[in-house]
Amino acid sequence: MSSTETPYETGRGFGLSSREARVIGGASVLMAINVALMYVIVTTPLASVNDYLFSFPIIGALAYGAAIMAGQLVAERGIEGGDMGIAFVGMVILQLAFGVFGAGVLRFAPRASQLTILAVTAVVVALLTAVIAAYVYARSKTFEHWGSYANYAFIGGIVAILIGTFVAPVLLVGFVLIFLGFLLRLGWEIWKVRDQRNASVALQTIGVYIAVAGVFVHVLQLVMRYFASRG
């Protein structure tokens, strides 16, 4: 099938085009801003928002899920409509959603350790992203089904968190499923960057950023536990 018959091109290899580099660079900048925002917000009252939302875990999960979905929808609508003001509002919502959540996790660490924790988290996330990207780029096949798998994982995670709100041990299952959902979504977004070569760079940048940010806040929780166990 020729490229004129489908918007997808299932390729193989590790060479990056300038378009792919722009997506990676843009998502990296957005993620760097988000990490800096976490470090700033952790010193403000917003860092306590998680305490209120997650007093009932399902409320916290739904609130942040809704914020992420709303931010993505608004940002994409602004880009598709050529309204950068609307797109900016969507990005602010996304940055605040991940920033406030991350700060709420980070605030339990001593201030002197917070930069180290963020740096370790960033390295782990970079490695995970590199492994997933290498897997996707090394295989000449579609990863479209990963998008569906990610949605199933998110739904399963929400159900587990709902149950875990009343049966605490089940919360771990919810964490694992939501984390898995973001990992699968990251692979799906990377596949779209690889194969949907005529798609909007801005839209793909947002997609990759959201997936990476979702992975980041979950790895952050694991890194926090590791540092706490050492103390």
- Distance (Å, rounded) from C-alpha 30 to C-alpha 119? 16
Q: What is the pTM of this model?
A: 0.92
Q: Please tell me the predicted confidence (pLDDT) of residue 186.
A: 98
Q: Which residue has the tokens 């942040």?
A: 64
Supply 205's token pair.
């940048």
Q: What is the C-alpha to C-alpha distance for residues 203 and 91, in angstroms, rounded to an integer?
A: 11
* pLDDT level of residue 198 (50, 70, 90 thresholds): confident
In eight-state DSSP terms, residue 141 is S
| Domain ranges (residues) in the chain | 18-134+158-221
Residue showing tokens 């988000």: 34
CB count, 10 Å around CB of 45? Answer: 7
Determine phi and psi for 71, rounding to 5 degrees.
-60, -45
Mean pLDDT of the chain: 93
Q: Is it the case that residue 105 has pLDDT exceeding 90?
A: yes
SS3 83: coil
pLDDT in tens, 207-216: 999 999 999 9
